[in-house]
Structure 1
Amino acid sequence: MQALMYEGPKVMQIREVGLPAAGEDDIVIRVAYSGICGSELSGYLGKNTLRKPPMIFGHEFSGTIAAIGGRAEAGGRWRIGQRVTANPLVTCGHCEPCLSGRQQLCLSRQLLSAALPGSNAEYVKLPAAFVYALPDEVTLRQAAMTEPAACAIRAAELAAPKPADTVLILGMGPIGLLALQAVQQYGVREIIVVDMNEDRLGIARALGAKHLICPSAVDTLEEVKRLTGGAGVNAAIDAVGAGLTRKQAVLACKGGGRTVFTGLHEEESVLPVNIAIRSEVSMTGAFAYSSLNFQTALKWIAEGRMGLSEGVVEAPLHEGGYWFEKLLNQPGHVSKVLLVPGGTS
C-alpha cells in the first residue's frame, strides 16, 4: 500500500509499505480521510520528541472496515465495509487512570502517528475496542473531525466555563475553532478569540465568536482588558502552545481565573508564576481526551453541534508534504486539511 512517510525534518515522501494484517483483536480500516494535526506540524519540523523517523503520521481519520480479526469478528459488532472512525489513543484499560475514566493518562498509552503507524496511508490497523461505528447522519468527512473535536471538548471541560463567563481562546487553528464550539455548549456567549490570520478570525466569527483580536492590529492583553472593563477573563484556553500565548493566557485571567494549555508547539515556556500565585490563577494542561470525551465528540458531530466545514481542504495523499509546508507558512483560509489516499473524492 502507499503511505506518506516522515523521513526526517521537513522530509515527507510517498512510499510503498506492507499492508497491515489484523491480529485476533484488531480491525484494519481502509482510510477515507486523514487530517493533518497541529502536533504533527511540530513533528514534521523535528521538534516533537514523540515522533521519530521513519514514521507514518496521521491520527484523525475515518474510513471503512477492510479486515477483522477472529476474536473481534466473533463479537458480531463489525462487518466488512462498515463506516467507522477510531480513537487513535490506544490504552491498556486496567491501570488506575484507565479505570478512573482518564484514559488519556494511561501509563502505557500508544498514539497512532507516534508509537504506532498512523493513518496517512491507504490502510491503518488498531484494536477493535477503539473503533466506533458511524451514525447514519455522519459523513466520512465529518467523522474525520472526531478526534480533534474530542481534544477541544477536553480543553473546554477543564476550563469549566459557566454561562455568564467570559472565555478567551488563543489560536484559531482547528483545535481553537472546535474549542470555540465546545465552550458554547456550556451556554457561554462572551467568547474572545485571537489569531494572526484574518481568514481564520472570519471563520471564528461565523461560528459565534463575540470578539475578534488580531495581534498585528492591537495589543492582545490591552484589548482583552478593554473588552472586559479591566477585569480580565474567567477562563483562557491556549490552543497555540507558544511561550507568548501561554503567558498571555495567564495574564488575561482575572483573579481566580482558569488557564488551560492544550497547544504543544514549544517544549518549554517561561510563565508569570508569581502573578498566577497572587491572583490564584489555576494552570492546567489538557492532553488528548477520555473515552467519554471521544464518544461525546461523535455524538455532538451527529447532532450538528460541532464540526468544521468552512476552510476544509481535501487533498490527495501524495500532496501531503506540500500541505505540511503550506500550513506552517501560509495557511490562508484553510481551517483543516484532509488527506485522501488515492486522490481527492
Structure 2
Amino acid sequence: MTDKAVGQRVSVDPVISCGHCYPCSVGKPNVCTSLVVLGCIATAGFSEYAVVPAKNAWQVPDNVSDSHAVMIEPFTIAANVTGHVSPTDQDIALVYGAGPMGLTTIQVLKRVYRVKQVIVVDRIDERLQMAQRNGADWVINNSDEPLAETLKAKGYCRR
C-alpha cells in the first residue's frame, strides 16, 4: 500500500538503500551496504520515466512548477551541507565550483543564512557569471593563478 500513483509528479531521492542492513537500521541509509544511486550505479537519472521505491519519491504540490520542482533535490543537498556548517551573517563563505550544487549552495548561504560574503571559485567563466546572478559577491577564475595567491592578495589568507 502506498500513497504514490504511477504518473504522479514527484521529486526523487536518488540514493536508494535496502532498509535492512545495519547502517539502515540505525538511521544511516546514506551508507547502506547495498546502496544504489540513480544515475551513477543504476540508470534513470536523466530518463523521462523511472521506477523508484515509494519511500524515495516525494509528492510535488500542484502549485510548484516543473521548473522549480527539478531543483528540490539539489536544494536538499545544499541545505544539508550548509546546515552542517551553521554559517552566520558574519561569515565569509567560499564555494569551490559553480555547477548545480555550487549554485544552489550560494542561494542557501545568501538567502537562508544571509552570510556576509560568498566567494565562488571556478575555471569556467559562464559558471562564474551564473554564480554572480545567484548571489555571489566575488567570483574568481583560478585558471591562471592559484587560489591561495588570489585570496592572499585580497587579505583573506594569513600565511
CA offset at residue 192 of structure 1?
Answer: 0.8
Moved more, 127-136 or 104-113: 104-113
Q: In 1, are the aligned partners of 2:12 and 2:58 still within 8 Å (CA)?
A: yes
Residue 189 in structure 1 maps to residue 78 in structure 2: no
CA offset at residue 207 of structure 1?
Answer: 1.4
Unaligned runs of 5+ in 2: none
User: 1:122, 1:208 → 2: CA distance?
Assistant: 31
Question: Structure 2 matches for 1:1-345, cutoff 5 A?
Answer: 71-72=1-2, 77-184=3-110, 185-216=112-143, 218-231=145-158
**Residue 226 to residue 101, structure 1, CA distance change in 2 (3 Å):** farther
User: 2:155, 2:39 → 1: CA distance?
Assistant: 41
Q: In 2, are the aligned partners of 1:189 and 1:210 still within 8 Å (CA)?
A: no
CA offset at residue 175 of structure 1?
Answer: 1.2
Q: Deviations over 1:212-241 (max 9, x none)?
A: 111245442122223344348xxxxxxxxx
Q: 1:126 aligns to what SS in structure 2? A: coil
CA offset at residue 141 of structure 1?
Answer: 2.7
Bigger proportion of residues as strand: 1
User: 1:152, 1:89 → 2: CA distance?
Assistant: 16
Question: Relative CO higher for 1 or 2, CA cutoff 8 Å, sep ≥ 6?
Answer: 1
Q: What's the RMSD between the two structures over aligned residues?
A: 2.5
User: 1:146, 1:229 → 2: CA distance?
Assistant: 33
Q: 1:224 aligns to what SS in structure 2? A: helix
Identity %: 32
**Residue 111 to residue 230, structure 1, CA distance change in 2 (3 Å):** closer
Kindly name which structure, 1 or 2, has the bigger radius of gyration based on alpha carbons: 1
Q: In 1, are the aligned partners of 2:152 and 2:158 still within 8 Å (CA)?
A: yes
Q: 1:201 aligns to what SS in structure 2? A: helix
- Equivalenced residue count is 158
TM-score by length of 1: 0.41
Q: Deviations over 1:100-152 (max 9, x none)?
A: 54321222221122343314334211111111110223222322222222233
Letter in 2 for 1:199: E
TM-score by length of 2: 0.81
**Residue 134 to residue 209, structure 1, CA distance change in 2 (3 Å):** same
